[in-house]
Structure 1
Amino acid sequence: MTDRQPPTDHPFAEFFRNDAAPAQRTAPPSSRRDARGGSGSRGTRHRGSSSGGGGSKRPRWVVPLITVVVIVGLLGGAGVFLFNTFGSQVQSLLAGNQVEDYEGSGTGEVMFVVNDGDIGETIGDNLAAAGVVKSSAAFYDLLLKQNPAPVFQTGTFKLAEQMSAQSALDALQNPDNKVDFTVTIPEGSSAKGIYQELSDVTGLPVSDFEAVGANWAALGVPAEAPSIEGFLFPATYVFQPGETATDMITTMVNRTFQSLDAAGVAPEDRLKVVTLAALIQKEAGSVEDMAKVSRVFTNRLNAGWNMESDATIAYGAGHSRVETTQAEREDPSNIYNTYLYPGLPAGPISNPGDDAINAAIHPADGPWFFFVTVDLDTGETVFSETADEHAAAVERLQEWWAAHPEIE
């Protein structure tokens, strides 16, 4: 067994060769002579001599030292293998606890936009891409610590470069840093009211918007329309500093065309659909009633009746009262007087939204020719087929008025 040698390519071959060699050597010559009959004292002297050639023993510390060296080598080799294999993962795990962040409120100026629907993680990514914060993680991790969670307003904010995550968050929550103009237009608003709202928010004169609206045909609104009314789509708009009245009004008109196109309305039918939709928007007590209101007016038109809408008279007279007077209903100077003039009113009387447009195109099925809101608090509306049914519903409305004398 002592004659076996480890393979030469074994990683410990050299170690085994060096350690096994003494067991295969023959005794030194002096020992052989002693064995053939030399004196025991001479043999003993040679065995005990430190200068006795190849017969000297290896020092006791050599084998332990070699063992230690081998173990250290093994550990070192294992460490290199593990680092080469898993080093990147380990570094990533270690880096996960070290979020990079700037310090302070930053320098310079960055116009940063928060888009509608952006979540915290998206805002963090965009801040990092714009050079505002050092990393998206720094901002997002800060958000997770907030209680309650921050609510971000859409729009453009004036920030700085290299801000700390906390400074960026504070700046986005400060309305003084908002530099754009957010305008919300409710369904059923009039052009006059929209001009005033745009002026209040942007600081531009009302006359600037009026001047743009007066040239409605240049914006693509049907030339036969009596005004731009009906084509300023109700929605929330975010206008940027530097945009003009023309830019803003054009955006709103194009948004109307977008809605009509999506509803399948041909360009030549835009005015007719918007006119009916605007009337539905003003007359319906709720979105649920819009299709029924559309059916009432459609039935009247198909039967050759006048539409007889108080809302059209009120618009033409320049007021917003629910009730109209007998004199107003007999006034021929009001081109929107649907008590006197047959067919659709001269033009839209409000700016309708998608629900009213859809109702104008898709009226409900029903035999109704009349409707009246009998409770102005709840918006309850009664639809009737005959004049007698309608008269009974009107009595309910009068009872409601009697019960609410405080309302003029």
Structure 2
Amino acid sequence: MIKKLALVFLCLVLAAAGGAYWAYGEIESYVSAPIDTQEKVLVTVPDGANYHSVTRTLINDGVISPSEWSRFAAKTHPELTRLKAGTYEIDPSMTLADVFAVFRTGKEHQFAITFVEGSTFKEWREILNQTDYLKHDTENLSEAAIAKKLGLSSEKVEGLLLPETYHFVAGESDLSLLVRASKQLQNALDLAWASRAEKLPVKSAYDLLTLASIIEKETAVDEERGKVASVFVNRLNKRMRLQTDPTVIYGMGDKYDGNIRKKDLRTPTPYNTYVISGLPPTPIAMPGKASIIAAANPDSTPYFYFVASGYGGHKFSKTLAEHNRAVRQYLKVLRSQ
């Protein structure tokens, strides 16, 4: 009788062991199987989330399939329960174990936002407000209020942010991006101001920035920046008005409809350099580093005029007569196109 009981017990133990081994294999297959998504997806792990709540999110989002083995996986793989809050990018080549390994690292997905050279603060605000995963702390603030939060001495932010690509994690404040852009602009401006050419006709680094913003709006051709800068410097030295269209456009604000008319050139605004002498009161756009460097160290040229060539660059002239011929040639090119 005892032998029979022992045999039954042994069979039960073996069956249990076999069942446990089979169950363990099923759990391993579940954890190591590729996830269901066919493209990269973003998954947010909230503060206070645990393995089970995150697994439910992954199932609801279609990243993994529901499985009866899901609830047991945390027992055999306790590392799955160690999570850090954040938003992560999940690759379709990953397994469930890989996914939770990403959640453990805390290395959140880096989003990117790009501001191009020559863009205005108004355009920056529109881009920020339309960017997902950013915390929009500045959306309802005035420009002056934002300037104050950035620690600027001016109530205008125009020109005081460096246009380039910035990276951020989900939930980061748009204000923190502006702080970074402000610091990078100041660093670039300080370097340019410290190495500026002698006898430059600008009184301050801020004036240099204003000049750089005009250069930025006038040309996107790198090889021309120094020449364009020289034209404006030559004009300032001769006390000639700058007569640059981008300043007129900026001064018109929302009234600008894509065209400049003769009456617009004659209409006084603080920015209309056909009417005012010298530089406008503030920058008219966000200049890049190349334009700031060009403003600080312009080429040495005899030019006082330039006009678009019609072929992607500009024609530079020493005299008004030469300039008028270049304008007629430009109009001829336009008519032929």
Class of the TM-score when normalised by the shorter of the 2 chains: 0.5 to 0.7
Shift, 1:251, TM fit: 1.8
Structure 2 letter corresponding to 1:244: S
Cα distance change of structure 1 residues 370 and 240 upon mapping to structure 2, 3 Å threshold: same
Output aligned runs, 1:214-363, within 5 Å.
214-215=144-145, 216-223=147-154, 227-265=156-194, 269-318=204-253, 324-332=260-268, 334-363=269-298
Counterpart for residue 157 of structure 1: 88
CA distance in 1, matches of 2:151, 2:265: 33
Residues 321-343 of structure 1 show CA distances to partners (whole Å, capped at 9, x for unaligned) of 775211111112x2111011101
> What is the TM-score with the length of structure 2 in the denominator?
0.64
Alpha-carbon offset, residue 205 of structure 1: 8.8
1:381 to 296, 305, 314: 314
User: C-alpha offsets along residues 130-158 of structure 1, whole Å, 9 cap, x if unaligned?
Assistant: x99xxxxxxxxxxxxxxxxxxxxxx9734
Q: 1:272 to 1:165 in 2, by over 3 A?
A: farther
Counterpart-to-counterpart distance in 2, 1:323 and 1:299: 28
- Map Cα deviations across residues 283-319 of structure 1 (whole Å, 9 max, x no partner): 1241110000000000000001111111100111126
Give the 3 Å change call, closer, same or farther, for CA 284–178 of structure 1 in structure 2. Answer: same
Query: Residues 212 and 237 (structure 1 numbering): CA distance in 2 closer, same or farther, change over 3 Å?
Result: farther
Q: What secondary structure sits across from 2:299 in the alignment?
A: coil
Give the Cα–Cα distance (whole angstroms) in 2 for the partners of residues 329 and 206 of structure 1.
38
- 1:395 aligned residue (328, 334, 337): 328
Unaligned runs of 5+ residues in structure 2 are: 1-30, 36-49, 55-78, 81-85, 196-202
Query: Which of 182, 205, 211 is matched with 2:141 structurally?
Result: 211
Instruction: Name the amino acid aligned to 2:267.
Output: D
- Cα distance in 2 for partners of 1:207, 1:371 equals 43
The residue type equivalent to 1:347 in the other structure is T
Structure 2 SS opposite 1:343: coil
Change in CA separation of 1:166 and 1:393 when aligned onto 2, cut-off 3 Å: farther
Residue 328 of structure 1 aligns to which amino acid in structure 2?
Answer: D
Describe the SS at the equivalent of 2:143. helix
Superposition RMSD on alpha carbons, in Å? Answer: 3.4
Q: Which amino acid aligns with 1:195?
A: R
Map of 2:303 onto structure 1: 368
For residues 23-102 of structure 1, the aligned pairs below 5 Å read none
In 2, distance between residues paired with 1:202 and 1:243?
11
Contact 1:184 1:237 in 2 (8 A): yes
- Could you list the per-position Cα deviations for residues 211-252 of structure 1 after superposition, in whole angstroms to 9, with x for gaps in the alignment? 1633214423332xx621101211111122222232222222
SS in 1 for 2:234: helix
Q: In 2, Cα distance between the equivalents of 1:270 and 1:217?
A: 19
Distance, in Å, in 2 between the alignment partners of 1:208 and 1:282 is 26
- Is the contact made by 2:235 and 2:241 (CA closer than 8 Å) also made in structure 1? yes
* Cα contact 2:134–2:172 (8 A) shared by 1: no
Name the CA distance, whole Å, in 2 between partners of 1:165 and 1:259. Answer: 46
- Alignment identity in percent? 30
Provide the rounded CA distance (Å) in 1 between the counterparts of 2:137 and 2:270: 25
Give 1:166 deviation, angstroms. 10
Partner of 2:19: none
Q: Residues of 2 paired with 1:321 and 1:389: CA distance?
A: 31
State how 1:10-29 maps to structure 2 within 5 Å: none
Q: 1:217 to 1:270 in 2, by over 3 A?
A: farther
CA contact (8 A) 2:121 2:158 kept: yes
Of structures 1 and 2, the one scoring higher in RCO (CA 8 A, sep 6+) is 2
Q: Which amino acid aligns with 1:342?
A: S
Contact 1:209 1:249 in 2 (8 A): no
Whether the aligned pair in 2 keeps the contact of 1:229 and 1:350 (CA below 8 Å) is yes
Is 2:135–2:171's contact at 8 Å kept on the other side of the alignment? no
Aligned residues: 246
Residue 115 (structure 2) aligns with: 185
1:346 CA displacement: 1.7
> Could you tell me which residue of structure 1 aligns to residue 4 of structure 2?
none
8 Å contact kept, 1:285–1:379:
no
Q: Scaled by the length of structure 1, what TM-score is found?
A: 0.53
